[in-house]
């Protein structure tokens, strides 16, 4: 059998011990991540739904222009490589990137459902 070093693949018992030992820290940072996620999703929904409704109400003009623009912008903004580097810059850059990643799928899926 292969002998994998413990620092590469620790046994489940070591993972459980580490999880229990670091539970307060994990819960604290898990709460922050959950709050950021809820904030971003709420912001994307509140701004994405009105744009999708505008696309639905002004089908000919807005549907064509906003769909191509949002797909292009979403493809350019969802690279993901810049996210780890922004951790040291505080909350705002992380919230903006997460907002952009959530905003365009909300607009596209809501508008496509309304336009059916």
Burial letters 67-95, b for 16+ CB under 10 A, else e: beebeeebeebeeeeeeeeeeeeeeeebe
How confident is the model at residue 35, as a pLDDT?
Answer: 87
Report if residue 18 sits inside a domain. Answer: no
- The answer to whether 107 touches 51, Cβ cutoff 8 Å, is yes
Report if residue 89 sits inside a domain. Answer: yes
Band (pLDDT 50/70/90 cuts) for residue 18 is very high
Report if residue 27 sits inside a domain. Answer: no
Report if residue 14 sits inside a domain. Answer: no
The domain tally of the chain equals 1
Judge whether residue 95 has pLDDT over 80: no
User: Is the model more confident about 25 or about 45?
Assistant: 25
pTM above 0.85, yes or no: no
Report if residue 7 sits inside a domain. Answer: no
Determine the structural domain holding residue 51 and report its residue range: 36-114
Report if residue 9 sits inside a domain. Answer: no
């Amino acid at each position: 059998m292969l002998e994998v070093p413990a620092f590469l693949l620790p046994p489940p018992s070591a993972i459980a011990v580490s999880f229990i030992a670091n539970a307060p820290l994990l819960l604290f940072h898990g709460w922050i991540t959950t709050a950021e996620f809820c904030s971003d999703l709420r912001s994307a929904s509140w701004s994405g739904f009105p744009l999708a409704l505008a696309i639905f109400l002004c089908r000919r003009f807005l549907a064509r222009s906003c769909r191509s623009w949002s797909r292009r912008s979403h493809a350019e903004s969802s690279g993901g490589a810049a996210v780890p580097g922004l951790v040291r810059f505080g909350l705002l850059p992380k919230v903006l990137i997460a907002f952009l990643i959530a905003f365009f799928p909300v607009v596209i899926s809501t508008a496509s459902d309304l336009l059916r």
